[in-house]
Amino acid sequence: QVQLVESGGGLVQAGGSLRLSCVVSGSIFRIDSMGWYRQAPGKQRELVAAISRVGSTNYADSVKGRFTISRDNANNTVFLQMNSLKPEDTAVYYCNAAGERYDTTRSYRIPFGSWGQGTQVTVSS
């Protein structure tokens, strides 16, 4: 019903940069928030950064000053600019979106929360 596709992951040396992108598609009425989460081997999935429709942001302490989240509301796209990458940033990064979608007849709106399939980010020492 609502699909998310991430891109931009890869292998980078410590101190380098990557930019992740996530495109949300489907019968969407409104996206209230979008965010990036990550999960490293043996660890729980954690919030990296989130952004609301009006532009308010929330970052994990571990990435403040290094990562920047932004969005293009017109194209239902969220970005994560990652600078000064560290080996500790190595993880699978997942995009998330929450809001309201239409039912199949567009007769009413339904809350949704959807995840992408993830993109691997690997930072070498």
Average pLDDT on 88-103 reads: 97
pLDDT digits (tens, 9 = 90+) for 65-79: 999 999 998 889 999
Average pLDDT, the chain: 96
Compute the distance between CA of residue 79 and CA of residue 68 in angstroms, rounded to an integer.
8
pLDDT the model gives residue 97: 97
Q: Are strands 10-13 and 67-72 parallel, antiparallel or unpaired?
A: unpaired
Residue 51 has pLDDT above 90, yes or no: yes
pLDDT digits (tens, 9 = 90+) for 8-35: 999 999 999 999 999 999 999 999 999 9
Produce one character per residue of 45-69: b if its CB has 16 or more CB atoms within 10 Å, e if not: eeebbbbeeeeeeebeeebeeebbb
Percent of the chain with pLDDT strictly greater than 90: 94
pLDDT digits (tens, 9 = 90+) for 112-122: 999 999 999 99
Binned at pLDDT 50, 70 and 90, residue 93 comes out as: very high
pLDDT the model gives residue 27: 94
pLDDT the model gives residue 1: 83
